[in-house]
Amino acid sequence: MPRQYPIEKVRDFGIIAHIDAGKTTVSERILFYTGVSHKIGEVHEGDTVMDWMEQERERGITITSAATTCFWIPSYRRGEGKSEEELKKLYEHRFNIIDTPGHIDFTVEVKRSMRVLDGAVVVFDGVSGVEPQSETNWRYADEYQVPRLCFINKLDRTGASFENSYKSILERLTLNAIPIQLPIGLESNFEGVVDLLKMKSFKFSGAMGEQITEEEIPASMAEEAKKRRQELIEKIVEQDDDLMSAYLEGKEPDLDTLKKVLRKAVIANKLVPVLCGSALKNKGVQLVLDAVLDYLPSPVDLPPTKGTDPKTGGELTREPKDDAPAAALAFKVATDPFVGSLTFFRVYSGTVKKGSYIYNSTKGEKERIGRMVRMHANHREEVDEIYAGDLGAIVGLKNTTTGDTLCDEDNPIILEKITFPEPVISLRIEPKTKADQEKMGVALRRLSEEDPTFRVSGDHETGETIIWGMGELHLEIIVDRMKREFNVEANVGRPQVAYRETIKGSAEAEGKYIKQSGGRGQYGHVNIRVEPMERGTGFEFVNEIKGGAIPQEFIAPVEKGVKEALAKGVVAGYTLTDIKVTLYDGSYHDVDSSEAAFKIAGSMALQEGAKRAKPILLEPIMKIQTLVPSEFMGDVTGDISSKRGKIEAMNDRSNIKVIDAQVPLSEMFGYATKLRSMSQGRGNFTMEFDHYEEVPANVAQLIIEGKK
Ligand code: GDP
């Protein structure tokens, strides 16, 4: 089947929000309006619309799908007197909505969605404005340079303020934000919005607000609207020298020019339009969809995608063209109750075809594409091809995990990788019965394929399974999913901090594994040097063997032995990291030397070296932000200090105190409960991993003795 929509008519975007801002409601409304507009003619207004909505509900709207496809004809085109057929042909766009989670414990989900979306609508609660999670998500969006629109939602709520919310965006997120709408009335009097570019009012009626009426701006708002429009126009003309000089001479650009220049500025991340409404009361969401189409980029508006050549490591780029070599990124592996495993991917260039083979360049393996689907609000569409700029899911891939590149085997590329933080917390998990044991293995494998910040390892000595994640909540959810989706009953231990070890000094060490009494012996002998590396750099192995002191074929086994020994550090058995190991000498025996002997020698040398190089323990330090009413401030800051925390900033946000601090993770267990009791239930906090730091000696002693 040929391409249905030209790539210019595709928008890949996400809806980003802190929990409770209204993401679900906004998404439901979007799927409703796009569904109705797509099927217009079948359904009209009032009861019919509600019925349709009910049916959709029963069939289960898949708003939680990693990528949902829908279609949109801009609402402002509907007044032009064209037939539905013509409207579709001329103006219908394909929207691929990429799901982004609200909770920050799911960094990985947020990051991987940012990686594949081209633009985002950021939703705010019009009562509380910017909240800590919005700030964190905003920073991720900055990291990936995602063009954005802001939607100040819930303006019907008591206490809602467009101005305060907008001010909080300016103060805490960006000075580039600029309203393109103003609300008409607020709280229970919230009626609709003024479009500052068109200088018209828009009101929404009908059971689901599906009827849009354009009116003159209310007289009481005329002055204000004029002033705000001028501010907006100035921001827009600033983007273009010619427009600016014309404007200074008194010539205002026409609507199309204004929209075009604003679009360019949004895509370049220079301006962020601010819209408003109430998703619950069905006001304003259609205009957000119009703005997505008008201001957020299509895949061709962005620079070509970068990647590396897996053979040479050199940089490559891929253009969003259907006939270019295929390059796609797998961004989520999900388990669908009906079709099994689904690998969601975005095509950056070329075409991905059903029935063909695709090369997983990250793993170096070929995979066959048996079936492909696209997820819509209420059905799965089987597709044969997915073109550049589009998203879809492959059914039943075997070895592809989140973050892998899928591409043309003859033109391999590895797309810019998503970097995931290392897990900071672990717990032991034990299946209840023998039957659970098998199921648990399958479940843990599946779950770790879906989520690269979730890891599984085994304790060789006790035979127990250990799972690793980003926080208490993250692992709680994993254990819960294991029960619900895979029927595994298991006993879980207490969450433990994932400490690490490193060295502070340098040392040389020898590893000798020699056994030469009778028969074929063992002979491995290495000399290494260990040195500390910068925090967060991991491990580096350097081979400086000259003159064949150790034959080439035994070098890799030495490295392997060293790596194995890193897994169990010399202070308290935690992983050793940020260490450089140089193999500089050794010896071998013609007959007795073997890979196994050199591997053991490598392990022995590493252990010896680490012991001599001032080994220390490292602990994860978390960045926390706590919000409390000012009367509880003293208790909360005192508590943070008693947790070895460092307070970094204290700010006022209306009558709330915002405390930014860094605190060791080991001190943070149970903080949610403690904060609740310290603040009569009115405190709130967010936490994310920041860095690893040396554990103070007195605390280290407790960890070594197993008391902490
Ligand atoms: P999410 O957590 O961001 O997905 O938020 P939801 O869409 O689930 O909304 C959280 C709560 O806010 C729900 O009770 C919604 O009914 C309510 N809500 C969402 N949008 C609005 C709105 O525009 N006005 C009001 N008053 N409530 C809203």
Which two tokens mark 106? 């799911």
Q: Give the number of C-alpha atoms closer than 13 A to the C-alpha of residue 304, restricted to the C-beta side.
A: 13
Where do the domains of the chain lie? 7-301, 305-415, 425-498, 501-613, 620-704
β partners of residue 332: 344
- Taking the centre of ligand 1 as the mean of its atom positions, its distance from the CA of residue 99, in whole angstroms, is 17
Q: Is the dihedral of CA 357, 362, 364, 365 positive or negative?
A: negative
* Contact 20 CB / ligand 1 (< 6 Å): yes
User: How many CB atoms lie under 10 A from the CB of residue 577?
Assistant: 20
**Angle formed by the axes of helices 434-450 and 472-486, nearest 10°:** 120
User: What's the pLDDT score for residue 663?
Assistant: 96
List of the chain residues with pLDDT < 70: 1, 36-65, 101-109, 337, 417-420, 460-461, 653-654
The CATH number of the domain covering residues in 7-301: 3.40.50.300
User: CATH classification of 425-498 is 3.30.70.870, yes or no?
Assistant: yes
- Do 279 and 25 contact (CB within 8 A), yes or no? yes
Nearest CA-CA partner of 23 in 14, 34, 32, 10: 14
Interval between CA 233 and ligand 1 midpoint (Å): 32
**pLDDT (0 to 100) of residue 39:** 46
What are the tens digits of pLDDT across the range 393-423? 999 998 888 889 999 999 999 997 666 677 8
Residues 6+ apart with CB under 8 A from 630: 652, 655, 656, 657
Atom of ligand 1 nearest to the CA of 28: 7
Return the pLDDT at 313. 84
pLDDT at residue 476, rounded to an integer: 87
| Ligand 1 nearest atom to the CA of residue 27, by list position | 7
Domains 7-301 and 305-415 share a fold: no
The 3-state DSSP class for residue 110 equals: helix
Q: For the domain covering 305-415, report its CATH number.
A: 2.40.30.10
Q: Give the number of other CB atoms < 10 A from CB of residue 219.
A: 7
CA nearest ligand 1 atom 22, residue: 154
Give the Å distance between the CA of 22 and the centre of ligand 1.
Answer: 4
The secondary structure element, H or E, covering residue 233 is helix 222-237
Confirm if 565 and 603 have CB atoms less than 8 A apart: yes
For the record, the structure tokens of 252 come out as: 């205002």
CB of 567 sitting under 6 A from ligand 1: no
Q: Dihedrals φ, ψ of 16, to 5°?
A: -110, 135
- Tell me the best of 18, 25, 204 to mutate to test the pocket of ligand 1, counting ligand atoms within 8 Å of each CB and taking the most: 25
Query: Which residue's alpha carbon is at the smallest distance from atom 6 of ligand 1?
Result: 22
Among the atoms of ligand 1, which is closest to the Cα of residue 279?
23
Q: Which residues contact 451 (CB under 8 A, 6 or more apart)?
A: 108, 109, 402, 478
CB-ligand 1 contact for 577 (6 Å cutoff):
no
SS3 assignment, position 183: strand
Q: Assign domain 501-613 one CATH number from 3.30.230.10, 1.10.10.60, 3.30.300.350, 3.40.50.10800.
A: 3.30.230.10
Q: What are phi and psi of 298, to 5 degrees?
A: -90, 165
Q: Is the dihedral of CA 291, 293, 294, 296 positive or negative?
A: positive
pLDDT computed for residue 42 by the predictor: 40
User: Residue holding tokens 């290495």?
Assistant: 526
**What are the tens digits of pLDDT across the range 593-637?**
999 999 999 999 999 999 999 999 999 999 888 888 899 999 999
Residue type present at position 125: D
Q: Choose among 193, 185, 413: nearest CA to 318.
A: 413
Q: Is the CB of 280 under 6 A from ligand 1?
A: yes
Contact 349, 405 (CB under 8 A): no
CA of 154 to the centre of ligand 1 (A): 7
Q: Which CATH number fits domain 620-704: 3.40.50.2300, 3.30.70.240, 3.90.1150.10, 3.90.550.10?
A: 3.30.70.240
Burial of 99 (0-12, 13-18, 19+ CB in 10 A): buried
**Ligand 1 centroid to residue 27 C-alpha, Å:** 11
Check if 154 has its Cβ closer than 6 Å to any atom of ligand 1: yes
Torsion angle (degrees, nearest 10) of CA 23, 24, 29, 31: 110
Atom 15, ligand 1: residue with shortest CA distance: 22
Which atom of ligand 1 is least distant from the CA of 283? 23
Distance 337 CA to ligand 1 centre (A): 28
For ligand 1, pick from 280, 282, 285 the residue to mutate: most ligand atoms within 8 Å of CB: 280
| CB atoms closer than 10 angstroms to residue 413 | 24
Nearest atom within ligand 1 for CA of residue 19: 2
Q: How many angstroms separate the alpha carbon of residue 512 from the centre of ligand 1?
A: 66
- With a 6 A CB cut-off, is 347 part of the ligand 1 pocket? no
Residue type, 661: A
Q: Which atom of ligand 1 is nearest to the CA of 277?
A: 23
Q: Any residues with CB less than 8 A from the CB of 445 and at least 6 apart, and which?
A: 456
